[in-house]
Amino acid sequence: MTDLRPAFEAATDHVIAIVGRDDVAAAWDRPSALAEWSVGGLVAHLAGQPETALTLLRAEPWPEAIPLEEHYARSAWVTAGLDDEVNVSIRAVGDERAGLGRDEILGRVVAARDALPEALGAQPEDRAVLIPWAGWALRRDDFLTGRMMEIVVHGEDVAASVGFEAPRLPREVLDPVLGLLTRLAVVRHGQGAVVSALTRAERAPRSITAF
């Protein structure tokens, strides 16, 4: 399996490129393309991914990890509605962080990027990274895949909200994210629906979203 540590550094560069845009700063207080999210709250949520990863990677290893697909099967936000407590809480954290302003948010993610090579370099392949709000852990590269998925998806959300095309992602970032999203879509919709959506326009289902 490919070591995803360099990919996560590249994904963090992607975050910095988006957060650092002048049009993102100018749109900070506007509604985003996601219901109930401001642009600032959404950007703060995006920018928080490298910071969160750094914090959890620096914590003590956990004794055991669960598979990545099981992580999403257990996670309440995956099937929660817009106004359910888990999603309201996620938005509230983003809004609170957005109050720091774009420049502070950008400075924090740049600082996290500077610290990542050392922190990632210390992580063995079998390291179990605890996700404390969930109560379970993921193996190192499964954890990084999940954080990169958040970065890729919310990067596109910010781009759609402000009106620009998100920077092109390197394959080492995009491939594991697309693999994860495809596997989750198969779990949700079935093999036939996903294969048909990708190959047969005449019988493609209306949606094969992973979430």
Helices and strands in the chain, H and E counts: 9, 2
Distance from C-alpha of 205 to C-alpha of 142, rounded to nearest angstrom: 29
pLDDT score, position 49: 97
Q: How far is CA 97 from the centre of its chain?
A: 16
Whether residue 18 is contained in a domain is answered as: yes
Give this prediction's pTM: 0.95
Locate 118 and state its tokens.
């050392």
Whether residue 10 is contained in a domain is answered as: yes
Return phi, psi of residue 130, to 5°.
-70, 135
Those residues with Cβ within 8 angstroms of residue 99's Cβ, 6 or more apart along the chain or in another chain: 40
Whether residue 192 is contained in a domain is answered as: yes
Whether residue 210 is contained in a domain is answered as: no
Q: How many CB atoms are closer than 10 A to CB 200?
A: 10
Locate 179 and state its tokens.
């693999």
Locate 28 and state its tokens.
């900070």
Those residues with Cβ within 8 angstroms of residue 79's Cβ, 6 or more apart along the chain or in another chain: none
Does 1 score more than 90 pLDDT? Answer: no
Whether residue 208 is contained in a domain is answered as: no
Q: What is the pLDDT of residues 5-60, one digit of tens each?
A: 999 999 999 999 999 999 999 999 999 999 999 999 999 999 999 999 999 999 99
Return phi, psi of residue 178, to 5°.
-65, -35
Whether residue 92 is contained in a domain is answered as: yes
pLDDT score, position 2: 85
What is the residue range of 24's domain? 5-203
Number of domains in the chain: 1
Domain CATH code at residue 166:
1.20.120.450
Whether residue 61 is contained in a domain is answered as: yes
Q: What is the pLDDT of residues 160-183, one digit of tens each?
A: 999 999 999 999 999 999 999 999
Q: Single out the residue of 91, 111, 114, 112 nearest to residue 44, CA to CA.
A: 91
Whether residue 209 is contained in a domain is answered as: no
